[in-house]
């Protein structure tokens, strides 16, 4: 018998630096391929960023009517493409397989349409009023990914966007879980989308000395989570959308579960605008809350998908948090940011999908470029190659500027139609 709060992942859609679609992402991680590339051109030369995770182009007319495709920011286009794939993957059509009023969309972004805004601001400075599109705001506002998905697919339930910086994607998945548990929706399209590949954004992070750089070396080696020689995160872009579904509803339509969302936890460090608590206590509290929400103990967890950005302080704080929760002999840990960079507001959703895939397929992804683990980040790191394993449950972490900590607990798929 289904518990009222049992929630399945019945579909996933991804746009990442490893390619378009879930298969490209999964195959890229399995094959230890990098999605990072060198940034060329004068506009990047002075930013402090010389490498990024660049996602495939999404032609606007692939996801929008030609008459509406003007001045829509890239973060919206990627979200629409990911949502289309997620719904195909779930074999679900809104209005046919689920009532439009019982369907919700929670899709967030950390930066919104900053690239579009910067482009038009530069144009206005050079040419005045005529350079600014009347479609600027509906093309770049942070809620527009969720709104456009709702319009495209006829969603009539809750539609929202959560702003918690780099924890936004994970918080959206948590909100999707809550909406189903509370009986507000039977299906929720949730996740995140972001591109911060705008020169002003890159320059700001570069001036803060937060970015990993390729220098004269291989761009693929620039992102180095938990490594002794890490130098910061690598900016990246992409989108991840999960279809969450009440298990009873999914069974009634013979849907296939790819995983379960078992619990969530969130805390705030209340410490510093950009730096985490050095002891990781806020992150540890989020993980403990997520495990309690799932009705699990630390010993039940067989894998941790780390936030692991490659910053000096962030990686140490997270490693301390993981040891505080799971002990010195805790579960295996990895971060996919070594392969794809940091997708900011989309990171938590893409990494949630990575966690679901790891549990479903019995293959835990390795942390790329983890050649010399930092002793301060001592954990059971997965490195060198994916690890064959079939844990029942896993934790996925997302942390953010402002002290936001979000942890999600996922389980292997249970039950079929």
Active-site residue among 153, 307, 381, 404?
Answer: 307
74: nearest Cα among 54, 100, 51, 46: 54
CB contact at 8 A, 351 and 336: yes
Catalytic residue, chosen from 89, 249, 258, 342, is 342
Please say if 372 is a catalytic residue: no
3-class secondary-structure state, position 377: helix
Instruction: Kindly give the pairing relationship between strand 7-16 and strand 237-246.
Output: antiparallel
Q: Specify whether the CB–CB gap between 240 and 353 falls below 8 A.
A: yes
Distance in angstroms (rounded) separating the CA atoms of residues 26 and 209: 31
DSSP string, 204-228: HHHHTT-B---TTS-GGGS--TTBT
For residue 242, CA distances in Å to 221, 282, 292 come to 29, 26, 23
Q: How far is CA 278 from the centre of its chain?
A: 24
How many CB atoms sit inside 10 A of residue 297's CB? 9
Half-sphere exposure of 245 toward its Cβ, with a 13 Å CA cutoff? 31
377 is catalytic: no
CA distance 357 to 259: 8
The per-residue b/e assignment along 299-323, b for 16 or more CB within 10 angstroms, e otherwise, is: ebbbbbbbbbbbbeebbbbbbbbbb
- C-alpha distances (whole Å) from 258 to each of 9, 83, 334, 406 are 6, 16, 20, 22
Which member of 89, 166, 249, 404 is catalytic?
A: 166
Q: Residue 52 forms beta bridges with which residues?
A: 37
Give dist(CA 45, CA 366) in Å, integer: 31
Residue 5: active-site member: no
Q: Which residues of 123-135 are buried (b: 16+ CB within 10 A; e: fewer)?
A: eeeeeeeeeeeee
List active site positions: 166, 307, 342
């Amino acid at each position: 018998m289904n518990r009222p709060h049992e929630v399945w992942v019945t579909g996933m859609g991804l746009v990442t630096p490893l390619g378009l679609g879930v298969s490209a992402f999964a195959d890229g991680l399995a094959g230890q391929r990098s999605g990072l590339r060198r940034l060329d051109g004068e506009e990047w030369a002075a930013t402090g960023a010389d490498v990024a995770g660049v996602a495939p182009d999404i032609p606007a007319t692939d996801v929008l009517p030609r008459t509406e495709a003007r001045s829509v920011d890239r973060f919206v286009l990627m979200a629409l493409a990911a949502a289309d794939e997620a719904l195909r993957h779930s074999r679900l059509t809104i209005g046919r397989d689920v009532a439009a009023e019982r369907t919700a969309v929670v899709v967030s972004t950390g930066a919104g349409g900053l690239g579009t805004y910067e482009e038009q601001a530069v144009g206005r400075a050079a040419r005045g009023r005529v350079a600014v599109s009347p479609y600027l705001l509906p093309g770049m506002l942070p809620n527009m990914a969720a709104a456009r998905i709702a319009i495209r697919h006829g969603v009539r339930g809750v539609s929202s966007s959560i702003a918690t910086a780099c924890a936004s994607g994970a918080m959206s998945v948590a909100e999707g879980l809550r909406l189903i548990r509370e009986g507000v929706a039977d299906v929720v399209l949730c996740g995140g989308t972001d591109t911060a590949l705008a020169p002003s954004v890159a320059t700001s992070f570069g001036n803060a000395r937060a970015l990993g750089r390729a220098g004269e070396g291989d761009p693929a080696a620039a992102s180095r989570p938990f490594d002794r020689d890490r130098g910061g995160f690598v900016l990246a872009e992409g989108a991840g959308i999960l279809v969450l579904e009440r298990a009873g509803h999914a069974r009634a339509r013979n849907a296939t579960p790819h995983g379960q969302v078992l619990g969530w936890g969130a805390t705030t460090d209340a410490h510093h605008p950009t730096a985490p608590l050095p002891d990781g206590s806020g992150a540890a509290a989020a993980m403990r809350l997520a495990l309690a929400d799932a009705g699990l103990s630390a010993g039940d967890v067989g894998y941790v998908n780390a936030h692991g950005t490659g910053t000096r302080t962030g990686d140490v704080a997270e490693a301390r948090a993981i040891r505080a929760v799971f002990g010195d002999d805790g579960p295996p840990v990895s971060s996919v940011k070594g392969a794809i960079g940091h997708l900011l507001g989309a990171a938590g959703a893409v990494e949630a999908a990575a966690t679901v895939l790891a549990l479903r397929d019995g293959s835990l992804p390795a942390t790329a470029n983890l050649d010399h683990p930092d002793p301060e980040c001592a954990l059971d790191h997965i490195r060198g190659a994916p690890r064959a394993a079939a844990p029942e449950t896993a934790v996925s972490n997302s942390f953010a500027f402002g002290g936001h900590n979000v942890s999600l607990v996922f389980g292997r798929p249970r039950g079929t139609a």
